[in-house]
Structures are given as structure tokens and as C-alpha cells.
Amino acid sequence: MATAASNIVIVGASAAGLTTAAALRRNGYDRDLTLVNAERHAPYDRPPLSKHLLTGEWGVDRIALKTPTDLDGLAIDIRSGVSAERLNLAQSRLFLTDATELTFDRLVVATGVTPRVLPDSAHLDGVHTLRTVDDALALSGELVAGRHLVVVGGGFLGTEVAAAASGLGLDVTLVNALPTPLERSLGPAIGAQVAALHRLNGVDLRTGPANAVQSLVSANGRVTGVAFADGSTLDADVVFVAIGAVPAVDWLAGSGLPVGDGIECAPDLSASPGIYAAGDVARWENPAFDESMRVEHRTNATEQAMHVAERLVDGAPDAFASVPYFWTDQYDLKLQVHGWIKGYDEVRILEGSLVDRRMIAVFRRGDRLVGALGVGAAKALRSWRQLVVDGTAWADVVSS
């Protein structure tokens, strides 16, 4: 039996990191607890960054994950504005960017993901990605009515920012190499409805392979447009790039921790004895689907953090079995999905449509029901979720 933890260090102070810390205290852990926070802000929530914060409906104070008093009550040594830059696993030492180092007997890695960028975009004004509150404030400062915003990428972030910007009176063009927005995650049929919704709200959609952006066009250090493979260009005052994200694991190179597309964890979320990962950065074998997955959604970060906090206290190797959940806001509609729908084989819209403001769709992989999407249909969605949890055969609940 391993000795009880007395010095836990958590790297990453957002949804997963802070929740781990808070759950540890709730579970009775009263020894040393250090949180390494790369950002200079107190821990905050990210989903509003592309929604209420961007539209100006909410101020920064509204997205704090804890009040200053509640944070103080947790008695955590928070190192803000400092990153972990190297891990020595054999010696249980963590080296920080302020030239200090920490030792630990348990470590939690909760460093999330970092946005992908277009080549040669780093020093250009007017080009934005969105992961942090500073990113959101910088982007929001450029969302001035009448300007032309080009959104590169038709995933959740691209579509949410397009919606927010069109509401603010910008002239918005969304370019996407796939035929419809949200197609990779939700399929072409729902994607077509999302496209219609955006067009209805005045967004110009340019989709399909010919609209894959190759590079940016600039003058005097500021972006002036985007360029496509055929040599054509599209002018822009501001460009928002949302082309996915990669796990923030560079600092773990050479550490000996198993790192690939995320930190490769055992089913209990441990990556090595006494070392765990949680949130967007963690890849694990999920027994609920018998699949290796990495989930970039808010609820998963909380659920994994609570699981890790329990394992840190009891040391038991219980697996993290989960049916993931996410939502996305598209204008005033909330699309909610329960399940693991990546790599689905079939999507079936069972009732309604986005225009009706009520929809249920279900997802099949192999012969199993693996997910359900609902809009304005909370009760029905709950029932479908249960069928997903139960591992129900598709043929038993969806007619052919």
C-alpha cells in the first residue's frame, strides 16, 4: 500500500486543475497543495469566452471559477504567471519558468490544450485565436460593427465566434474546408441546418475544399486577408483562426511520462505511479466505450478532476468510466450532446429541426447507440442519454 499523499502539486489552474484542488480539500486532504497557474488571472471558466464575454453581456468578474474568499479558504499555494517547464520524474522534481523548483509526492497534470495557428501568423496584428481571457479581450476589442471578420474554421469555436460577431454588427464570412459547419463533429445533415441558421443571421459561408485557407495576406504588419490554394484571396479587417488545438505537453518532452496525443493514462487516469492527468490533456481508455479517447469538453474536466482527487486520497485504481457531455450555443439555441460520437457511422435526425427550435438526433457506431443530440428537448434527451449509458443496441431503439 502506497503511503498517504502529503505534498500534491497540480500543474494547470483551470477547470480540471482547480476542481482537483477543491475536491481534494473536500475529500479531507489537508496537507501541502500547490497549483501552478501559467496565467496571471485567477482561475476562470472558458466557455463564456466565445459567448457572453465576447458579446459584452458578461464582464470578466463573472467568469471566475471561485470567489477570492473561496479560493483563500482552500489554502492552496498558487503560483500565478508561472509555468512548469520541465519534469524530472525519477526525482519527483518540477522546474518552473521563474527558476524555482517544486518537489512532490503526487502530481496532477491539467495543462489543457493550445490552439493551432496558421503559418507565419504569430506577429501579425488583426489575427486572433481564442483560448484565454486575454485572447477574448483582444478579439473583443477588434469586433467593431461594420468591420469584415473572416473566421477560419467551422467547428464549435469558429461558429460561436461568427454568431457573436454577427450579433455585434460585423460583416462575417466563415470559411471552412468541409462542406458544412460542425460537420466533423455532428455530420452533414445537422451541419446543413447549422449553415442555414448562420445564413439566416447574415453570415456569409464559404465551405468545401476550395475554401481551405493556405496562408494569410498582410501589409505593414497587419492582416489584410486570407489566401486559398487556387491563389484567390478574401479581404479581411480581422481574422479569427479556429482550426483545432493540441495538448499542452511540450514541457513534458523527455520526462518519461507517456505522451502522444495527450498524456496517455491508464483507465484510472494515472500516467505513472502517483502521477495523474485530468481534463483536455488526458487520454485514457474509457471502459464505458472500450475506447481510448481525449475529451475537450468542460464537464469532462470537472468529472475527471473529481475522479483524480478521489484516487489521490484513496489510492484505489478505479477506472474513470464516463459518458461525455458537451453543449454549444449557436445564436439563442443550445445544442447538447451526450455520448462519444467521434467516428460515428450514422447520424439520424429523429424529430424536429433547428428552425423548429426542437430536435433530437442519435448517433450509431457499429451496432451500438453511442450518442444523442438534443435542442429544446431536455426530457427526451435525458431518456436517450440513459440508453447510451446502458450501451443499448441501435436496432433495439432506432427503426431501420
Ligand X SMILES: Cc1cc2nc3c(=O)[nH]c(=O)nc-3n(C[C@H](O)[C@H](O)[C@H](O)COP(=O)(O)OP(=O)(O)OC[C@H]3O[C@@H](n4cnc5c(N)ncnc54)[C@H](O)[C@@H]3O)c2cc1C
Applying CB under 6 A, the residues found at the interface with ligand X are 11-17, 36, 38-39, 46-47, 49-50, 83-84, 110-113, 130-131, 157, 248, 251, 279-280, 296-298, 301, 326-328
Pick the closer one to ligand X by CB: 289 or 394: 289
CB of 243 vs ligand X, minimal distance in Å:
13
- Residue closer to ligand X, measured from CB, 112 or 187: 112
Could you give the residue ranges of the DSSP H alpha helices within the chain?
Answer: 15-26, 52-55, 68-73, 133-142, 156-167, 183-186, 188-200, 298-314, 378-389, 394-397
Amino acid identity of residue 174, one-letter, is L
Minimum gap (Å) between residue 210 Cβ and ligand X: 28
End-to-end CA distance of the chain: 53
Burial of 64 (0-12, 13-18, 19+ CB in 10 A): middle
Complex with ligand X: residue 234 or 337, whichever CB lies closer: 337
For residue 380, give the nearest of 350, 342, 348 by alpha carbon: 350
**Residue corresponding to grid cell 481534463:** 279
Whichever of 62 and 222 has its CB closer to ligand X, that residue is 62
**What is the Cα–Cα distance from 94 to 121, expressed in whole angstroms?**
32
State whether residue 295 is helix, strand or coil.
coil
The per-residue DSSP string of 193-259 comes to HHHHHHHHTT-EEEESGGG-EEEEEEETTEEEEEEETTS-EEE-SEEEE---EEES-GGGTTSSS-E
CB of 77 to ligand X, least distance (A): 14
127 or 234: CB nearest ligand X: 127
Q: CB 163 → ligand X: shortest distance, Å?
A: 12
**Rounded least distance, CB 371 to ligand X, Å:** 14
When the beta carbons of 108 and 234 are compared against ligand X, the nearer one is 108
